[in-house]
């Protein structure tokens, strides 16, 4: 009963309130209130979507830019809708699978590397504890702690080997130790990357197709304009979504993302046009030379 009472009345930080206090002009009173709320009233809430923000933002942006770059390049090269859609859909799906697999494999490889480093640190601690303790003392002293206090703190922590090695990994190597669930988390990150890339990447293509189906009279230039509008809206929405987890400057983040995407699309469009014009000139020169050759009977 005593433990339950202690748990319910122990001061606990409300993370969202603490973030808001800092964002609102570094309100110290609100910050103190956020740190003094009891666990029974306000627990630390984690935003699940924020945990995969990197995969969603990176995958979504890459997907949109990949598909629209294909559309822009194909339009600049005067390719027809069918080859453009074939290239766009196949590339988006292939790249989405590649990005998702790459995210999973890179995360798993990184976790394996960290665990290997932890094994080495544990081995060094068991075989030469004095050296490891001295290293940590020096590190804490370099960060501003007095040597006497650092020696007391490190000697006390070193009694608990598993705990001490995890502290060494974080403080000495800046490598947080992954948990047993991190392999599953890496798989989830890979799936999130794949879905974000595929879904966002299909948006410009889907709008291009739907516009052609709903309005068959539209020419290729009009369909390209529809794809441009859809891409701008998607990029702005993705940029604003990113700002929700950062500085909450939604308009700035949206416009910044649109400008970045526009620059990438412009490069693709003008490169496609240049290649098309160069290839057309070379083909014309070849035809002229071929027609000027005498016919051999």
pLDDT tens for 40-55 read 444 344 444 445 777 7
Separation between Cα atoms, residue 205 and residue 107, nearest integer Å: 30
Segment holding 291, helix H or strand E:
helix 250-292
Does the pLDDT at position 22 exceed 60? no
* Cα three-residue angle 197-72-223, rounded to 5 degrees: 95
Q: What is the pTM of this model?
A: 0.63
Separation between Cα atoms, residue 112 and residue 9, nearest integer Å: 40
Say which residues have a Cβ less than 8 Å from residue 75's Cβ, sequence separation at least 6: 84, 220, 221, 224, 269, 272
Separation between Cα atoms, residue 114 and residue 135, nearest integer Å: 19
Q: Are 208 and 87 in contact (CB under 8 A)?
A: no
Query: Hey, what are 14's tokens?
Result: 């409300």
Lowest mean pLDDT among 20-34, 77-91, 161-175, 220-234: 20-34
- For the chain, the C-alpha Rg in angstroms (whole number) is 29
């Amino acid at each position: 009963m005593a433990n339950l009472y202690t748990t319910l009345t122990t001061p606990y930080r409300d993370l969202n309130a603490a973030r808001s206090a800092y964002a609102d002009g570094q309100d110290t009173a609100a910050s103190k209130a956020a740190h003094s709320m009891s666990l029974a009233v306000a627990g630390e809430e984690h935003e699940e979507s924020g945990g995969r923000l990197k995969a969603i933002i990176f995958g979504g942006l890459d997907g949109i830019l990949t598909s629209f770059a294909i559309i822009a390049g194909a339009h600049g090269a005067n390719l027809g809708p069918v080859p453009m859609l074939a290239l766009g859909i196949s590339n988006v799906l292939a790249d989405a699978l590649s990005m998702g697999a790459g995210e999973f494999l890179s995360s798993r490889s990184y976790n394996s590397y960290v665990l290997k480093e932890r094994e080495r640190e544990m081995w060094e601690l068991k075989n030469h504890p004095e050296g490891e303790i001295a290293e940590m003392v020096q590190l804490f002293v370099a960060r501003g702690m007095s040597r006497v206090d650092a020696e007391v703190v490190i000697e006390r922590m070193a009694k608990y080997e598993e705990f001490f090695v995890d502290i060494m990994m974080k403080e000495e190597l800046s490598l947080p130790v992954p948990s047993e669930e991190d392999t599953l988390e890496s798989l989830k990150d890979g799936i999130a990357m794949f879905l974000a890339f595929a879904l966002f990447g299909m948006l410009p293509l889907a709008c291009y197709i739907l516009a052609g189906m709903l309005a068959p009279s539209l020419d290729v230039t009009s369909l390209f304009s529809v794809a441009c509008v859809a891409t701008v809206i998607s990029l702005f929405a993705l940029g604003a979504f990113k700002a929700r987890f950062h500085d909450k400057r939604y308009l700035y983040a949206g416009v910044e993302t649109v400008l970045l995407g526009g620059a990438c699309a412009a490069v693709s469009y003008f490169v496609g046009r240049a290649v098309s014009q160069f290839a057309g000139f070379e083909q014309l020169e070849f035809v002229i030379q071929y027609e000027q050759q005498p016919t051999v009977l």
